[in-house]
Amino acid sequence: MGTHLIPRDVEGEGRILIIFTTKGFVGTLIGIFIGAILFAFFNTIHATIVGWILLVLCALTGFVIGQVKIPNSNSLDLFKKIRRILRL
């Protein structure tokens, strides 16, 4: 039985620091920014540990959201709208 190549769309898949794609890196930065705001708030009320936990959770959430792949499907209207918004 022969082998077959499966074509993949790999545009925009450059890696930053090995684990981050560009979208994942931007998502992580946004998460860190939101987490830093929460950290500053909780630091003022002397709940530093809660602030650190929220900072890490926001950064991880931003990373996960940035890494999610959007399917290249034209069959569902939802995917068409998402691709149009993100200009993929």
Residue 19 has a pLDDT of 73
Q: What are phi and psi of 9, to 5 degrees?
A: -90, 110
The pTM for the full model equals 0.61
Residue with the larger pLDDT of the pair 12 and 15: 15
Which residue has better confidence, 11 or 67? Answer: 67
Q: Which two tokens stand for residue 46?
A: 């002397």
Angle at 13 between CA 10 and CA 17, to 5 degrees: 150
pLDDT-above-70 percentage for the chain? 59
Q: What share of the chain is helix, strand, coil (3-state, %, to 5)?
A: 60, 5, 35
Per-residue model confidence as pLDDT tens digits over 36-66: 999 999 999 999 999 999 999 999 998 888 8
Count, residues in the chain:
88
How far is CA 38 from its chain centroid?
Answer: 19
